[in-house]
Amino acid sequence: MANLTAEDVKAEVKAWLEENWDPERNVAEWWDILARSGYAAPTFPEECWGKGWTRDLAMAVNETLAEHGAIGPPAGLGYLLAAPTIVAHGNERQKQEDLLRILNGQDAWCQLFSEPGAGSDLASLSTRAVKDGDEWIITGQKVWTSTAQLTNLGMLLARTDPSLPKHKGITYFKFNMTQPGVEVRPLKEMTGRALFNEVFIDAARVHDDDIIGGVNNGWAAANTTLMAERAGLGTGGTGAAGNAFPGPRAGQLGDRVGDYVGKIRTGGTGGGGLFAAPRLIKLAQELGRDDDPNVRQKLAKLYTLQQLGRFSALRAKTPSQRTGAEPNIAKLMMSDLLRLQREVGNEIIGANGMIMGTEGPGSGVVQEVTLFSPGPSIYGGTDQVQRNIIGERVLGLPKEPGPAKDTPFSELLISR
Ligand SMILES: Cc1cc2nc3c(=O)[nH]c(=O)nc-3n(C[C@H](O)[C@H](O)[C@H](O)COP(=O)(O)OP(=O)(O)OC[C@H]3O[C@@H](n4cnc5c(N)ncnc54)[C@H](O)[C@@H]3O)c2cc1C
């Protein structure tokens, strides 16, 4: 293991795929085989369905899946956010059962964090969880909940003890989205779609067994989720040959897995990632815009930024080089990259940028990026909040003024 190289991993995974990849299987069967092999989440420890490998080796797994034309692990926030949170804070049952159901796509999770009065200041959340025997009764409202309409479970943050300071009385629950008392209302965005929703919760229930990380210890677990979100938004990843959406509600588990080859869900980042610069260069060539010095300059800048993002992600994997700010920086770079893609993309396609649909130049990708580009600078904590975190936690700058940290939540103005 100590000397395992990316080449070793590629050879191992290639041999395994030759035995196991079969496009005629259904999506659920393939994901179950992939999850139990350890290749769905190779960076997780072996006792958590992983291989205990570095991110470099995990990228080699993804590259091999792509080369072989096999689809990768389930898309969505269960895999991206809930899974690493369970690895870090879950109990044995959660690691054995809940985690497997994420990796093999049986469950789909959404993130029930933000509320109308608690976004950047997430610890001000006021959704209540009141103990009732070995259950908790949940009442409150969440907002901007991406994919809530497609998911059967949620990562729910709720206040379990208002007499404690605001960061301390919060608990992290696995929450059943399909029970009575949960109403999901779509919010239409300027992209024309309703990616996110409002979620109204009225006396819904959660069992003690579904607390992740302990009562009143939800802030620590929430931070793991947020760090995974920020790191996941950064550059440096490579995708498999396609993926599908998990869980019973999306209705894809019984489909032929081979039909998802070539289908990449971007999670809403509108075509970011390492393919953006090559795709825009090709578009500029097709439209004869590749000799415009402005376009060339911006494409070079986009390519350079993407490579810098990739190198930062690689550096973050070297413990001696780590500053602690890597996930925040990765997130800031993603916001910049999307804005730059928007700018150069529109410069290439010109007035065609006003036409929606997949018919025009670039098949609508530039329009898609344009309309979605404000998103990444908001979700996962806004760009301003990332800068605050870097300033305070990494550079040691003074904290923002505010009430003393040990003030009980119930005595803060926001709780009234
Ligand atoms: C596309 C998209 C998907 C999302 N998906 C989810 C999801 O699935 N689940 C979920 O829980 N949430 C989700 N969110 C919500 C997102 O996390 C919040 O929108 C975000 O945390 C900001 O909160 P807010 O909207 O309440 O803005 P506010 O916190 O009210 O901020 C408003 C403005 O004030 C600035 N600001 C606030 N505080 C400070 C400060 N201390 N210093 C400097 N500036 C400050 C902010 O940067 C921002 O510009 C999503 C958002 C988007 C855009």
Ligand 1: atom nearest CA of 120 is: 29
User: How many angstroms does the Cα of residue 307 sit away from the middle of ligand 1?
Assistant: 28
Helix ranges (DSSP H) in 21-146: 27-37, 55-68, 77, 83-89, 92-93, 99-103
Cα 52 to Cα 33, 55, 75, 224, distances in angstroms: 18, 10, 21, 18
**Residue closest by Cα to atom 53 of ligand 1:** 375
Mean pLDDT of 59-73: 93
Report the distance separating Cα 172 and Cα 112, nearest Å: 10
The number of the ligand 1 atom at minimal distance from the alpha carbon of 400 is 41
Contacts of residue 341, Cβ cutoff 8 Å, sequence gap at least 6: 271, 272, 276, 280, 302, 369, 373
CB 201 within 8 A of CB 143: no
Closest by CA to 373, choosing from 351, 350, 353, 396, is 353
Among candidate residues 229, 326, 347, 368, the one labeled active-site is 229
The total of other beta-carbon atoms located within 10 Å of residue 322's CB is 11
Which ligand 1 atom is the nearest neighbour of the CA of 384? 47
Name the residue with higher pLDDT: 249 or 353.
249
Which mutation among 77, 80, 113, 114 tests ligand 1's pocket best, with the greatest number of atoms within 8 A of CB? 114
Could you tell me what percent of the chain has a pLDDT over 70? 92
Which residue is closest in CA terms to ligand 1's atom 43? Answer: 384
**Which residue, by CA, sits nearest to atom 30 of ligand 1?**
119
Atom index in ligand 1 nearest the CA of residue 381 equals 21
Q: Which of residues 122 and 399 earns the better pLDDT score? A: 122
Strands 109-112 and 135-142: unpaired
- Has residue 416 got a pLDDT over 70? no
Distance 244 CA to ligand 1 centre (A): 27
Closest CA to 27 of 243, 220, 182: 243
Q: What is the CA radius of gyration of the chain?
A: 22
Percent of the residues in the chain that have a pLDDT greater than 90, as a whole number:
69
pLDDT of residue 170: 98
What does the pLDDT look like over 179-223, one tens digit per residue? 999 999 999 988 888 889 999 999 999 999 999 999 999 999 999
Distance 380 CA to ligand 1 centre (A): 8
Residue 236 has a pLDDT of 40
If you measure from the C-alpha of residue 120 to the centroid of ligand 1, how many angstroms do you get, rounded to a whole number?
5
Residue that is written with structure tokens 């999901």 in the block: 184
Instruction: For residue 344, name the pLDDT band (cuts at 50, 70, 90).
Output: very high
Q: How far apart are CA 112 and CA 155, in angstroms?
A: 5
Minimum mean pLDDT among 188-202, 241-255, 288-302, 400-414: which range? 400-414
Contacts of 344 (CB under 8 A, 6+ apart): 280, 295, 298, 299, 302
pLDDT of 234 strictly over 60: no
Q: What is the pLDDT of residue 319?
A: 67
Q: What's the whole-number mean pLDDT along residues 225-249? A: 76
pLDDT of residue 325: 83
Backbone φ and ψ for 7, nearest 5 degrees, come out as -65, -40
Q: Which of 63-67, 106-110, 317-321, 399-403 has the lowest mean pLDDT?
A: 317-321
Q: Whose Cα sits closest to atom 35 in ligand 1?
A: 384
pLDDT band, very low/low/confident/very high, at 268 (cuts 50, 70, 90): very low
Q: What is the mean pLDDT of residues 404-412?
A: 88
CB burial of 160-191 (b: ≥16 within 10 Å; e: otherwise) equals bbeebbbbbbbbbbbbbbeeeebebeeeeeeb
For 124-241, where are the E strands, in sequence order?
Answer: 128-132, 135-142, 153-159, 170-176, 182-187, 196-207
- Minimal-distance CA residue to ligand 1 atom 41: 385
What's the confidence (pLDDT) of residue 235? 41
Q: Report the pLDDT value the prediction gives residue 317, as an integer from 0 to 100.
A: 65
| CA dihedral of 183, 232, 330, 166, whole degrees rounded to 10 | 40
Question: What does each C-alpha distance from 275 to 102, 271, 305, 334 come to in angstroms?
Answer: 27, 8, 13, 13
Ligand 1, atom nearest to 146 Cα: 8
Considering the chain, what is the average pLDDT of its residues?
Answer: 90
Is residue 270's pLDDT more than 50?
no
- Please determine, for residue 275, whether its predicted confidence score (pLDDT) is greater than 70: no
What is the rounded distance in angstroms from the CA atom of residue 27 to the CA atom of residue 259? 9
Looking at the chain, the number of H-run helices and the number of E-run strands are 13, 7
Contact 359, 178 (CB under 8 A): no
Residue 265 above 70 pLDDT?
Answer: no
Hey, which of 110, 112, 144, 146 would you mutate to test ligand 1's pocket, going by the most ligand atoms within 8 Å of its Cβ?
144
pLDDT of 269 = 39
**229 is annotated as an active-site residue:** yes
Q: What is the C-alpha to C-alpha distance for residues 222 and 386, in angstroms, rounded to an integer?
A: 16
Q: What is the rounded average pLDDT of the residues 121-134?
A: 97
Pocket of ligand 1 (CB under 6 A): 110-111, 113-114, 119-120, 144-146, 196, 268, 375, 378-379, 381-382, 384-385, 388, 400
Would you say residue 349 has pLDDT above 90?
A: yes
How far away, in angstroms, is 385 Cα from ligand 1 center? 9
What is the whole-number distance in angstroms between the Cα of residue 378 and the centre of ligand 1? 5
CA distance 10 to 343: 37
Could you give the CA distance from residue 84 to residue 79 in angstroms, rounded to a whole number? 8
**How many other CB atoms sit within 10 Å of the CB of residue 263?**
14
Say how many Å lie between the CA of residue 225 and the centre of ligand 1: 15
Q: Which one-letter amino acid corresponds to residue 80?
A: L
Position with higher pLDDT, 272 vs 134: 134
pLDDT band for position 50 (cuts 50, 70, 90) = very high
Least confident segment among 96-100, 144-148, 174-178, 378-382: 378-382
pLDDT band at 233 (very low <50, low <70, confident <90, very high): low
Which atom from ligand 1 is nearest to the alpha carbon of 268?
1
Backbone torsions φ then ψ of 4, nearest 5 degrees? -60, 130
